[in-house]
Amino acid sequence: MTEPVGRTSFGEPRVDRTAQLTARPTERDIAYDPPPMADSLHVRAARVLEDNWTGASTVPSRSLYPHQWSWDSAFVAIGLRHVSPLRAQTELETLLGAQWGDGRIPHIVFNPSVPLDAYFPSPDFWRSSTAGRAAGAPRTVQTSGIVQPPVHALAAWLVHRADPGLSRARGFLTRMYPRLAAWHRYLLHRRDLGAGGLASVVHPWEQGMDNSPCWDAPLSRVTPAPARSFRRADLDHGSAEDRPTDLDYGRYVRLATDYRDGGYADGPGDFAVEDPAFNALLIASEHALAEIARELGATGTARHARAERLTAALIERLWDPAEGMFFCRDVRSDGLDEGRSGGPAAGELIPERSVSGLVPLLLPALPRDIAAALVRTLGGPHFGLGGTTRLVPSYDLLGEAFEPHRYWRGPAWFNTGWLLERGLRLHGERGRADALRRAILHTADASGFAEYVNPYTGDACGATGFSWTAALTLDLLHDHPAWDTTAVRELKGGDRG
């Protein structure tokens, strides 16, 4: 589609978006990668983002997720930076424009033109402008009241690096930095519910891996909302076999209702979990904030030091050396286990192997022995990467709760694959990183940029034409553009069944 002539909400002239996304501008001599071939993987991925563009942000999926989602937009911006740095900046600016006064970035920013019954929970459920008034919810924008993983500072830094001249001319980082700093303060102070230095999530939706078996034990304490009190719009667009059960959904609704009715205040509640991926992304973004501070004239030293302290806390509280991976900690559980320093640590580790426990491989200050153990676990029988699985499953292949098609209980997701590809490369595992990248590119292409896939077969699950799948495809193609026309084609011919 073509945007009408006019001006965007940030004052720039509107342009033909399809031309902008599928071709390189001739007036600016910045070689991101070679011009894409007609109908190449690059062009097809860019078209997905164009189709999901609303004018100020990108929806994850037109049918299933018709609003703006927080960590989706961060991943979208990371991919968009290669084809439209301006639009990548706009993506993040729109999201952070809905930030609350207490610093939280809500997990959904609602589009007022979308009918209320198109998605549940809808704005009339969250009631952000009234129930969230004490927490500083915006009055003119309707949002949810919970959050999602803090990928945003990392995304902002990568977007800046794609076109520093444009970023500086627009004051992009100058405007983003105080908002991102407030977001991190919120997580580090309001969400340290386990008193161990890590941020807790207060709802499974906050961690992003909504239906993970990691939540089964903490959720068992939650009385589900009556089935008649809500209608699941997700089942209108997806198979019930791929989605959370009605019992789980009822518990999600109950938690969200109680949080809303408490004015979105963080404190005692039925659900509070320290999650390794959520905190690893906070640490990665804290490192990125340090780089942003340096770009703006500060030293960034304090933020790097904070990131290193958070890494130490992550290891202290969530690392299990015997299992070779990180685990979630249920800070509301009654029991006490022994911390690695020999002292008591509140709550219990949740003995479920999830891809979340591998994501800390992304961290630069991770001790070498821990990084090596994570790589072994990634390729071992519980995740099977490079052996039995094409992409990294979201849950333990040998776990009793494993289901290859059901939301976050086994399928592979492209954003976690992208994070692990970065982590493998960071820690010198170039061969494994290259293999994972090739698998991601091939599977994204073959599945129609699916939301998630069967980890064994690569068959599409959920929505197709999914934005972060397309965006992260663009990011991986940027590093090795030749794969757009060579390696991906070779994989199609010789891939195992």
Which residues are catalytic, by number? 210, 451
349 contacts 328 by C-beta, under 8 angstroms = yes
Q: What angle do CA 154, 160, 48 make, to 5 degrees?
A: 80
CA–CA gap between residue 378 and residue 392 (Å, rounded): 8
DSSP 94-108: HHHTT--TTS---SE
Q: Which two tokens stand for residue 137?
A: 């919810």
CA–CA gap between residue 77 and residue 80 (Å, rounded): 5
Element holding 336 (H helix, E strand): strand 336-338
Question: Which residue in 153, 161, 248 sits closest to 205, CA to CA?
Answer: 248
* Total length of the chain: 497
- Neighbouring CB atoms inside 10 A of 400's CB total 7
Element holding 292 (H helix, E strand): helix 276-295
Distances (CA, A) of 252 to 215, 248, 272: 11, 6, 13
- What does DSSP assign to residue 187? I
- What does DSSP assign to residue 14? P
| Beta strand 273-274 pairing with 200-201 | antiparallel
Cβ-Cβ contacts under 8 Å for 146 (sequence gap 6 or more): 106, 107, 202, 203, 205, 206, 256, 259
22 contacts 43 by C-beta, under 8 angstroms = yes
Q: Which residues in 107-190 belong to E strands, given as ranges?
A: 108-109
CA–CA gap between residue 391 and residue 385 (Å, rounded): 6
Q: Which two tokens stand for residue 304?
A: 């790097």
Q: What is the CA radius of gyration of the chain?
A: 21
274 contacts 329 by C-beta, under 8 angstroms = yes
CA end-to-end span of the chain: 37
Residue type present at position 434: D
